Amino acid sequence: MTVEPDAGTAALSPPSLTRAQAFRYWLRLGFISFGGPAGQIALMHEELVERRRWISENRFLHALNYCMLLPGPEAQQLATYIGWLMHRSWGGIVAGALFVLPSLIILIALSWVYMAYGHVPAIAALFYGIKPAVTALVVHAAWRIGSRALKNRWLWGIALGAFGAIFLLNLPFPLIVLMAGIVGYAGGKYAPDKFRSGGGHGAAQQAYGPALIDDDTPTPAHARFSWARLRTVIAVGLGLWAAVMGGLIALFGWSGALTQMGWFFTKAALLTFGGAYAVLPYVYQGAVEQFHWLTAPQMIDGLALGETTPGPLIMVVAFVGFVGAWNQALFGPEALLLAGATAACVVSFFTFLPSFFFILLGAPFIESTHGKLQFTAPLAGITAAVVGVIVNLALFFAYHVLWPKGFDGRFEWASAIIGSAAALALLRYKLGVIPVVLGSGVAGLLFRLASG
DSSP 54-108: SB-HHHHHHHHHHHHTSSS-HHHHHHHHHHHHHHHHHHHHHHHHHHHHHHHHHHH
From 78, 95, 112, give the residue that closes a domain: 95
| pLDDT recorded at residue 79 | 95
Note whether 304 and 420 are same-domain residues. Answer: yes
Beta carbons of 295 and 381 less than 8 angstroms apart? no
| pLDDT recorded at residue 1 | 33
For residue 147, is it within any domain?
A: yes
Angle between helices 377-402 and 296-307 (to 10 degrees): 120
**Enclosing H/E stretch for 26:** helix 19-32
Burial of 51: CB neighbours in 10 Å, binned 0-12, 13-18, 19+? middle
Task: Give the Cα separation of 242 and 244 in Å (integer).
Answer: 6
Q: In sequence order, what are the beta bridge partners of 55?
A: 213
Note whether 259 and 359 are same-domain residues. Answer: yes
For residue 216, is it within any domain?
A: no
Task: Give the Cα separation of 345 and 317 in Å (integer).
Answer: 10
Note whether 351 and 416 are same-domain residues. Answer: yes
Task: Give the Cα separation of 393 and 50 in Å (integer).
Answer: 38
Task: Give the Cα separation of 258 and 263 in Å (integer).
Answer: 9
Task: Give the Cα separation of 372 and 79 in Å (integer).
Answer: 19
From 47, 76, 95, give the residue that closes a domain: 95
Note whether 83 and 120 are same-domain residues. Answer: no
Note whether 44 and 143 are same-domain residues. Answer: no
Q: In sequence order, what are the beta bridge partners of 197?
A: 375
For residue 140, is it within any domain?
A: yes
What would the DSSP string read from start to end of 169-236? S---HHHHHHHHHHHHHHHHHH-GGGS-B--SS----------SB-TTPPPPGGGS--HHHHHHHHHH
Beta carbons of 316 and 114 less than 8 angstroms apart? no
For residue 304, is it within any domain?
A: yes
**Enclosing H/E stretch for 18:** none
For residue 269, is it within any domain?
A: yes
For residue 203, is it within any domain?
A: no
Distances (CA, A) of 164 to 24, 172, 213, 360: 48, 12, 47, 38
Note whether 255 and 398 are same-domain residues. Answer: yes
DSSP state of 372: P
Torsion of CA 409, 414, 418, 419, to 10 degrees: 20
* Count of domains for the chain: 2
| pLDDT recorded at residue 38 | 62
Task: Give the Cα separation of 268 and 75 in Å (integer).
Answer: 18
User: Which amino acid would we find at residue 337?
Assistant: L
Question: What's this model's pTM, rounded to 2 decimal places?
Answer: 0.74
For residue 4, is it within any domain?
A: no
Range of the domain at 366: 102-198+222-450
Note whether 41 and 67 are same-domain residues. Answer: yes
Note whether 393 and 418 are same-domain residues. Answer: yes
What would the DSSP string read from start to end of 97-137? HHHHHHHHHHHHHHHHHHHHHTTSHHHHHHHHHHHHHHHHH
How far out from the chain centre does Cα 189 lie?
31
For residue 214, is it within any domain?
A: no
197: nearest Cα among 368, 76, 56, 68: 68
| pLDDT recorded at residue 204 | 42
Task: Give the Cα separation of 446 and 173 in Å (integer).
Answer: 38
Task: Give the Cα separation of 380 and 95 in Å (integer).
Answer: 29
| pLDDT recorded at residue 9 | 43
Q: What is the mean pLDDT of each run of 10 residues along the chain (452 residues)?
A: 42 78 92 70 82 86 76 89 94 96 94 88 82 83 79 92 91 81 86 65 55 84 89 96 98 96 94 70 88 91 81 90 96 96 97 95 80 56 81 84 85 94 92 84 90 74
| pLDDT recorded at residue 36 | 63
Note whether 147 and 80 are same-domain residues. Answer: no
From 79, 95, 111, give the residue that closes a domain: 95
| pLDDT recorded at residue 202 | 41
Note whether 374 and 318 are same-domain residues. Answer: yes
Note whether 233 and 135 are same-domain residues. Answer: yes
Note whether 112 and 87 are same-domain residues. Answer: no
